Amino acid sequence: MAGLKEPKVIINSDECKGCGLCIDICPENVLEFTKGFNKMGYHPAGYKGQGCIGCGYCFYQCPEPGAIIVYKKGYIEEEVEA
């Protein structure tokens, strides 16, 4: 179907403790440690920007609730009220 949005990963860098479990389990190797530090002094994981298949392995592997959100193919963006 044309026009469907591709899968993607959003990582809340301030929630990430830099354990690397999500990076290790990713079957497409689309996650990596960022160069900078978060507010806790960790190098958080980050999405490389493309190649995610929306499997959710990173989400389920992450020990920090709320650190990772996976959007599956065809997701609808939520409208945030100001």
Domain boundaries along the sequence of the chain: 8-71
| 71 in Cβ contact with 7 (< 8 Å) | yes
* Residue 76: predicted pLDDT: 79
Residues 6+ apart with CB under 8 A from 51: 28, 29, 30
In tens digits, the chain (82 residues) has pLDDT values of 455 689 999 999 999 999 999 999 999 999 999 999 999 999 999 999 999 999 999 999 999 999 999 999 988 776 656 5
Selection from 15, 26, 13 nearest residue 60 by Cα = 26
Please compute, for residue 69, the number of CA atoms within 13 A of its CA located in the half-sphere on the CB side. Answer: 7
Decide which of 3.90.1580.10, 3.30.70.20, 3.40.50.410, 1.10.760.10 is the CATH code for 8-71.
3.30.70.20
d(CA 49, CA 52): 8
Give the per-residue pLDDT at 74: 87
